[in-house]
Chains A and B, each alone.
Chain A
Amino acid sequence: MATTTGTATEPVTLRTRYRKSVWLRLGEALLWLLLIGIAVIEIAPISWMFSTSLRDPKNSFDLPPDFWPTALHWQNYLAVINSPDIEFMLFFWNSLKIALIVTAAQLLTCSMAGYAFGRLRFFGRDILFGLFLASLMVPATVTLIPSFIIIRSLDLMNTHWALILPSVTSAFGVFLLRQHFKSLPEELLDAAKIDGAGYFRIYWQILLPLTGPALSALGIFTFLASWNNFVGPLLFLRDWDKFTFPIAIATIRGYMGSGNQSEVLAGIMISIFPLLVFFLLAQRWIVQGAAITGLKG
């Protein structure tokens, strides 16, 4: 390698430069290969699901598999939606209702507490905030059993409250918004105080409008966590008419998965379709939000 590049003046520099550019190109090529390869692997199961959900059910297990729709058997979707045994669109409504209520509640409670901890002074503030910080370290798996007992003793089994109440606030959200409120300039609040604004007006009309990115990041990920929640419905919901998508799909798979792959996949497509649309529209915010809310783990 690099045998002919030596000149009288700067042989070493030129030789090393040439050698490195080969390595550079090799590294770049490998990275491209990895990027494109992984992108294909990531998207293939989803495009296979979509293609197979459009196959005639009697061909649904046929090989070779499709990664691009070859049939357009939309009747599978109608069959799922109009199924006589289960009201599929009710799952959509249940999932949406719970996710919206949980998201609204978290945005409100976390921003209120964030304001209190970040901008107001009161006795015990730092101890209380320390409690929130400490609870960030508590894994959800550990509180599962007592949460179940609490929900049961509140007589909330098989109701949507069982999913909403434990999620009305999050220590992470309080932490995130407190940091944002703290970082806003003091002059802003002084001006508002001089104008005679009360605490609620400062919170609602001055601080909240300036917290857009943090609020939307928290909102997006709270919504997703609720929409995708599986353990909650598995523990708390018993009747079909209360089910949300994830638990409904896992249950449907159990009794019709071996016979009709296409219709099960059509059901899953319906359940993730809102996420797909949402993601294509708001990709940028979602990806940024994922980085901000990384702490949520």
Chain B
Amino acid sequence: MTSTALPDDGIDRQANPQKGTTLARREAWAGYLFATPALLGLLAFTALPIIASLVLIFLHYDLLTPPKWAGVENLTRLTSDSRLFKIYWNSLRLTVGATFLNNVLGLLLAVGLNRAMPWGLRYLLRTSIFFPVMTTTASLAVVWRFLLTQDRGVVNFLIGQIGLDPVPWLSSSAWALFSAMIYDVWKACGYLMVIYLAGLQGIPAVYYEAARIDGAGFWQQFRNVTLPLISPTAFFAIVISLIGAFQIFDNVYVLTEGGPGDASRVIAMYIYEKAFRGFEMGYASAVSFTLFVILITLTLLQFLGARRWVHYE
């Protein structure tokens, strides 16, 4: 990539070893000083929490009484927690559905927007599609709660206009998780669009010219030029979508409150409730550790899989 300060200082040291050592020492001191604030933040609020959560897994701790040693009780409890399995199944469906829709829509929207069009139109489309990304997830979930109300909700009114029956979006266990997915796609597809747009703009125009000269049509250009060259972007976008969607919390917490029953409860919410409503810090840490293992595995698997189908230019 780029060169560091190595060669220049090396010469300096040879010419005057005494001075060189002092300089190197001064540079080292400066390095430690400049890195210290960030390093302290990292140690206190990332490194320490990670170590603490590894310890917490083996404790019973309810915040009020001193922690008690639990051995592997929290871990064995994981295997017999049937709610955990149901909630993980919810998380998995929500994650796969949202990731799929967000990435397909994001890519198609980016392809659509990455064409010649009047500046004003492009601005209007991009603004409309991206703005929801910036808004507050928890607050807009309040808006969607109103929109999706069964009896006087706007969405049911609109689908009634085309002759469909009202849908119990939030109150039925068949629909609640689907509603959370719709809300996530509404909120996030503009973000994926921007990422794919940046990827598309990195594809040199000569490839499309060459394809056109060879007689490739719209679909063939998309299939043979866009898709292979966008695959590094897609790989990256899919990984961050999966990791993000597995941690969905605000959305469901406000929109459906996990209900009805456990129908739309997701894993981040379960961790929150075990820890801060049930005050079972140890067991909640064990659950969050399973999430950690899943997310890390996912990242690594994706990185390994990427070698097979990602074309770096």
- List chain A positions with a Cβ less than 8 A from chain B: 13, 16-17, 19-21, 23-24, 26-28, 31-32, 34-36, 38-43, 45-46, 48-49, 61, 63-65, 108-110, 112-113, 115-117, 119-123, 125, 128, 131-132, 135, 137-150, 152, 165-166, 168-169, 171, 174, 182-183, 186, 189-190, 199-200, 203, 224, 227-228, 230-231, 234-235, 245-247, 249-250, 253, 257, 261, 264-265, 268, 271-272, 275-276, 279-280, 283, 286-288, 290-291, 294-295, 297
Contact = CB atoms under 8 A, between A and B. Distances in A.
B50 A142 contact: yes
Contacts of A132: 38, 42
Contacts of B28: 120-123
A150 B45 contact: yes
The 10 closest A-B pairs by CB, nearest first: A20-B217, A169-B41, A122-B31, A113-B38, A291-B198, A146-B52, A297-B240, A146-B49, A122-B28, A116-B34
Nearest to B284: A145
B150 to A, nearest CB: 13
A272 B27 contact: no
Nearest to A190: B8
Contacts of A49: 143
Contacts of A231: 249-250, 272
A120 B31 contact: yes
Contacts of B240: 294-295, 297
Contacts of A141: 247, 249, 268, 271, 288, 291
B154 A65 contact: yes
B111 interface: yes
A43 B49 contact: no
Contact of A139 (B47, B108, B142, B243): B243
B21 interface: no
Given A141-B288, A203-B34, A224 B125 contact: no
Given A35-B112, A146-B48, A290-B133, A42 B42 contact: no
B281 A246 contact: no
Interface string B132-144: 1111111110111
B311 to A, nearest CB: 19
Given A112-B37, A120-B28, A150-B49, 5 more contacts: A45-B132, A64-B157, A120-B5, A141-B247, A257-B146
A94 B139 CA distance: 16
Residue from A61, A108, A294 having most chain B Cβ neighbours under 10 A: A294
Given A42-B186, A169-B38, A146 B135 contact: no
B75 interface: no
Nearest to B6: A121
B298 to A, nearest CB: 10
A146 B38 contact: no
Nearest to B43: A131
B195 interface: yes
A79 to B, nearest CB: 17
Given A31-B111, A63-B157, A121-B24, A294 B289 contact: no
B3 interface: yes
A227 B136 contact: yes
Contacts of B127: 279-280, 283
Interface in B173-206: 186, 189-191, 194-195, 197-198
B180 to A, nearest CB: 15
Contacts of B26: 199
Residue from A235, A287, A295 having most chain B Cβ neighbours under 10 A: A287
Nearest to B28: A122
A145 B53 contact: yes
Nearest to A120: B31
B86 interface: no
A250 B42 contact: no
A48 B194 CA distance: 25
Given A45-B186, A61-B152, A117-B35, A291 B124 contact: no
B217 A112 contact: no
B39 A257 contact: no
B139 A245 contact: yes
Contacts of B136: 227-228, 230, 245-246, 249, 271-272
Interface string B238-260: 01100110110110011000000
A41 B140 CA distance: 14
Contact of A137 (B24, B133, B194, B296): B296
Given A149-B281, A250-B138, A144 B288 contact: yes
B209 interface: no
